[in-house]
Amino acid sequence: MKKIMLLLVILISILNARPEKDFEQANSLYSQKKYSEAAEKYMQIVSKGYSGVPLYYNLANCYYRTGKVGYAVLYYEKALRLNPHDEDTKHNLVMAKRLIQGEIKPLPAFFIWKWLDTVRNIFTPDGWTVFLTVTFFLILAMFGLFVFMEDVIIKKFSFYMGLFLVLLFISGLAALISSFTQTGRTDEKVVVASYVILRSEPDETSTEIMKINEGNKIRAAEEDGDWLKVILPDGKTGWILRTGVEQI
């Protein structure tokens, strides 16, 4: 039994070490400017179910260097899902989008939605979890002061501060839920083919509305076999074949 357990521990250690070794090899290829080979190595890691900002960021850089704008945008977006505050990723995403031929500009966002996005992105989901934990213990502390202290001033302070912290906790909880929802979204996609054709119906003989070039971000609203009904950033809708897009 002990031998079996030892073998299992050794096997798990080997399996855990393998992605790290592959990542180091990919980084080495990247430093040698062998971007296509590095991208293949990074993709091997991704295909095994691994994720992470450094992994997605480096992979996106490889695609950017090799002119694959769609995949570059895709993996920069994936990296920002995990860490919306990464300045290098945000900068490189802007640079990649400049290479899009015919980028579809989004409609101006309503200021409330922009404000809510800003609040949600103050922390990552892990950051919001820490924030809620600290706030919860502060609420307990204020409750303790209110119950056990006899000083009127302290009671008033703890009461109003407690109310404020409860509101803060509720807001933080809403932000955490929103953050998890954003991270787990499956409707946002990026065009990775050179272009896809937007049609009026899920049929290749239907009216062609426009071409959507590589790198543009779209939102899927409905599925019908091999077809996706999508909403473009400018509000246009139509149907495309799913083969030309990848999910963020």
With 90 as the cut, is the pLDDT of residue 215 above it?
Answer: yes
Q: Are 213 and 197 in contact (CB under 8 A)?
A: no
* Per-residue model confidence as pLDDT tens digits over 88-128: 999 999 999 999 999 998 877 777 777 777 888 888 888 99
Q: What average pLDDT is seen over the chain?
A: 90
* Per-residue model confidence as pLDDT tens digits over 3-24: 454 444 444 444 455 788 999 9
pLDDT given at position 12: 47
Q: Where are the domains of the chain?
A: 2-97, 111-183, 188-247
* Helix-then-strand count for the chain, H and E: 8, 7
The percent of the chain in helix, strand and coil, each rounded to the nearest 5, is: 60, 15, 25
- Sign of the dihedral defined by the CA atoms of residues 162, 164, 168, 171, in that order: positive
Options 3.40.50.920, 3.30.230.10, 3.40.50.970, 1.25.40.10; CATH of 2-97:
1.25.40.10
pLDDT given at position 112: 75
Burial 35-63 (b: 16+ CB within 10 A, else e): bebbbebbbebeeeeeebbebbbbbbbbb
Tell me the C-alpha distance between 195 and 216, whole Å: 9
Which of 20-24, 48-52, 54-58 is most confident? Answer: 54-58
pLDDT given at position 16: 54
Tell me the C-alpha distance between 58 and 47, whole Å: 15
Concatenate the DSSP letters of all residues of 69-85 into one string: HHHHHHHHHHHHHH-TT
With 50 as the cut, is the pLDDT of residue 169 above it?
Answer: yes
Residues 6 or more apart whose CB falls under 8 angstroms from that of 187 comprise: 219, 220, 221
Confidence of residue 185 (pLDDT cuts 50, 70, 90): confident
Confidence of residue 40 (pLDDT cuts 50, 70, 90): very high
CATH of domain 188-247: 2.30.30.40
Beta strand 245-247 pairing with 217-224: unpaired
With 50 as the cut, is the pLDDT of residue 52 above it?
Answer: yes
Q: Are 122 and 168 in contact (CB under 8 A)?
A: no
Indicate the DSSP class of residue 204.
Answer: T
